């Protein structure tokens, strides 16, 4: 067994019907990649191992796990996940990495380098000679635009929630599903949506789903964007969409509370007011 240390703080103020910054109930969950055998021949199970985190996000002093270098199988690793209690039930994941825990103790988990996709694939292949990595997903295909150009329609794009924002807001989390009403002053043709990822989820891909709905007709279109990397991220709709002038609703959600995206804002008498996540719809 090896003593482990580490500090796991979220990279954002934890929203809890306000701007609370408590880590009450936070935990670190480690899980061995597979069943293995230690030096004495004893089987080591791959059941999850949970440790509570204190108010500073630190592991307890008595935290111990079997090191990967203490096992006979040389291809094991741990998935390491930090979680917070959810608003209703379950937990919100805010840290996730794959680590080989080895070396002299105490082992600082924060000092370990997360395994890359290539390294994970090599370990999985060593554990199972018949392992076949998944085929790479094909790149996105842009749906065709309407055959005939629509006179007077906007093709260049606009920001959902506020067509012409007067300011760029700070980054924001998407812990709760959100909506924002806005008036579209022109007819528009769109086939993709883009966001600006300020802080991606560490250790695994994350998704952000955005949509726009015509209030008058009730017609809604949406798409899911890969938010696993910092910077501009985009995704196409299934088909080109013609949005009519009038009232619309922008909607958004995410499968990660760790992702932070840039927001849009307007300048009012009392300063900058955040309207919604920065979502740009364009053809």
**Structure tokens that stand for 22 in this block:** 């408590």
The alpha carbon of 228 is separated from its chain's Cα centroid by a whole number of angstroms, namely 6
pLDDT of residue 19: 39
What pTM did the predictor assign?
0.55
pLDDT digits (tens, 9 = 90+) for 36-88: 999 899 999 999 999 999 988 999 999 999 999 999 999 999 999 988 886 54
Q: Compute the distance between CA of residue 125 and CA of residue 224 in angstroms, rounded to an integer.
A: 31
Q: Compute the distance between CA of residue 282 and CA of residue 127 in angstroms, rounded to an integer.
A: 46
pLDDT of residue 88: 45
pLDDT of residue 210: 94
pLDDT of residue 20: 42
Residue 227 CB burial class (10 angstroms; 0-12, 13-18, ≥19): buried
221 three-class SS: strand
**Residue pair 88/39 in contact by the 8 Å Cβ criterion:** no
Domain boundaries 158-282, CATH class: mainly beta
Q: Compute the distance between CA of residue 238 and CA of residue 221 in angstroms, rounded to an integer.
A: 9
CATH of 2-127, one of 1.20.1630, 2.60.40, 2.40.160, 3.40.50: 2.60.40
Low-confidence ranges of the chain (pLDDT < 50): 13-20, 88
pLDDT of residue 260: 86
pLDDT of residue 67: 94
Helix (H) or strand (E) holding 118: helix 117-127
Quick check: do 2-127 and 158-282 share a fold? no
pLDDT of residue 86: 66
Q: Compute the distance between CA of residue 219 and CA of residue 88 in angstroms, rounded to an integer.
A: 31
Domain boundaries, the chain: 2-127, 158-282
Cross-strand pairs, 266? 273
Q: Residue 38 has what DSSP assignment?
A: B
pLDDT of residue 16: 41
């Amino acid at each position: 067994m090896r003593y482990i240390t580490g500090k796991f703080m979220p990279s954002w103020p934890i929203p809890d019907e306000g701007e609370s910054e408590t880590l009450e109930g936070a935990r670190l969950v480690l899980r061995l990649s597979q069943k293995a055998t230690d030096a004495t021949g004893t089987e080591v199970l791959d059941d999850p191992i949970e440790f509570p985190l204190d108010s500073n996000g630190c592991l307890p002093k008595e935290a111990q796990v079997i090191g990967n270098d203490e096992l006979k199988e040389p291809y094991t690793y741990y998935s390491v996940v930090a979680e917070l209690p959810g608003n209703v039930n379950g937990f919100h994941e805010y840290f996730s990495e794959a680590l080989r825990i080895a070396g002299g103790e105490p082992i600082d988990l924060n000092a370990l380098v997360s395994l890359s996709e290539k390294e994970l694939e090599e370990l999985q292949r060593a554990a199972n000679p018949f392992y076949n990595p998944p085929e790479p997903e094909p790149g996105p295909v842009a749906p065709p635009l309407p055959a005939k150009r629509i006179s007077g329609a906007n093709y260049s794009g606009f920001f959902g929630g506020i067509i012409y924002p007067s300011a760029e807001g700070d980054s924001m989390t998407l812990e709760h599903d959100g909506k924002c009403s806005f008036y579209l002053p022109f007819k528009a043709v769109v086939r993709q949506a883009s966001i600006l990822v300020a802080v991606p989820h560490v250790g695994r891909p994350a998704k952000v789903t955005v949509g726009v709905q015509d209030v008058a007709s009730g017609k809604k279109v949406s798409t899911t964007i890969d938010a696993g990397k910092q910077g501009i991220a985009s995704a196409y709709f299934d088909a080109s969409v013609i949005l009519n002038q009038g009232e619309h609703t922008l909607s958004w959600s995410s499968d990660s509370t760790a992702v932070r995206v840039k927001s849009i804002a307007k300048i009012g008498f009392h300063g900058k007011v955040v309207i919604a996540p920065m979502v740009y719809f364009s053809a």
